[in-house]
Amino acid sequence: MKILQIISLLTTLSSAGFFWVLEGLHPFFKPTVDRNTHAVSNFGMAACNLLILFPSMLLMASVLERTNVFWPGIKGSGIPAWMQTIAILTILDCWMYCWHRMNHEVTFFWRFHSIHHSDPIIDVTTAWRFHFMEILFSELLKLPVFILIGAGIEDILLYTILMTPVIAFHHSNVKIPDQIDKILRNVIPTPLLHRIHHSIIRKEHDTNYGSMLSLWDRIFRSFLLKNEIGSIKIGLSEESSINRQTISALLLKPFKT
């Protein structure tokens, strides 16, 4: 597990660094704010979330180690180990789709998730911009799912290793050829799809919820394709102004509405 933890950390740092450099060299949208200032704000939000994620991971590992003994879930099905892993990873990604969609459709959850969408620009740092309460609810609600399917902490770490580069990629402000985006979006959410998801228009940002795989949006009919997005406006109306982008303002905002 320690090896997977190290790989997970390295994957997170390397994917963030790689796309940060790449979007600086080949941006899709011309930056309207200072990139460094924007990154400090978003990573400041991410730092707050680490106070929840680290103890949560330790608690989750302890709970799953105990529950897997008397409830193995998929791992007690008798199918080959590689099929068990694929099944668990697929279900985890489906849960991420469901949780993301809940954050849009349940008013209480949207109160916190809207902090992610209020970012006036979208780049790789947006991938880590979440309110700590959203992270807390996510951790609390995912644990019963993990127990039910018999996921182990090693499965969760493996999913994180696979998912993190995809999330960094589709949040990035990298300009990629249309044909490459067209091919990739058959499997994973791409920057084009996720830029639509961050549109200021509600009917557009209530689409394309996928985290690692794009098939869930196709299955559950939340897939939206809009090829001409060069002029799309990112953010939320009246919530993406510069004076609302300080860390303190973002942390307090959900409690003021």
| Alpha-carbon gap, residue 218 to 241, rounded angstroms | 33
The predicted model scores a pTM of 0.94
Query: Is 141 part of a structural domain of the chain?
Result: yes
Q: With 90 as the cut, is the pLDDT of residue 240 above it?
A: no
Query: Is 142 part of a structural domain of the chain?
Result: yes
* 3-class state of residue 52 by DSSP: helix
Q: With 80 as the cut, is the pLDDT of residue 2 above it?
A: no
Q: Which pLDDT band holds residue 243 (cuts at 50, 70, 90)?
A: confident
* 3-class state of residue 150 by DSSP: coil
The answer to whether residues 212 and 188 touch, using CB atoms and an 8 Å cutoff, is yes
The answer to whether residues 114 and 187 touch, using CB atoms and an 8 Å cutoff, is no
Q: Which pLDDT band holds residue 257 (cuts at 50, 70, 90)?
A: low
132-149 vs 107-117: helix axis angle to the nearest 10? 120
Query: Is 32 part of a structural domain of the chain?
Result: no
Query: Is 140 part of a structural domain of the chain?
Result: yes
Of the listed ranges 3-7, 36-40, 70-74, 157-161, the one predicted with least confidence: 3-7
Q: For 209-237, how does the pLDDT look when each residue is reduced to its tens digit (9 = 90+)? A: 999 999 999 999 999 998 788 889 999 98
Interacting residues of 229 by C-beta distance below 8 A, sequence separation 6+: 192, 195, 196
The domain in which residue 222 lies consists of: 2-27+38-256
User: For tokens 């200032």, what's the residue?
Assistant: 37
Phi/psi at 75 (5° precision): -70, -5
pLDDT score recorded for residue 54:
87
Q: With 80 as the cut, is the pLDDT of residue 1 above it?
A: no
pLDDT score recorded for residue 123:
96
Query: Is 17 part of a structural domain of the chain?
Result: yes
Query: Is 33 part of a structural domain of the chain?
Result: no
The answer to whether residues 147 and 71 touch, using CB atoms and an 8 Å cutoff, is yes
Query: Is 208 part of a structural domain of the chain?
Result: yes
Query: Is 85 part of a structural domain of the chain?
Result: yes
| Alpha-carbon gap, residue 4 to 158, rounded angstroms | 7
User: For tokens 């809207």, what's the residue?
Assistant: 114
The answer to whether residues 185 and 214 touch, using CB atoms and an 8 Å cutoff, is yes
Name the domain count of the chain: 1
Residue type, 206: D
| Alpha-carbon gap, residue 161 to 13, rounded angstroms | 11
Residue type, 61: A
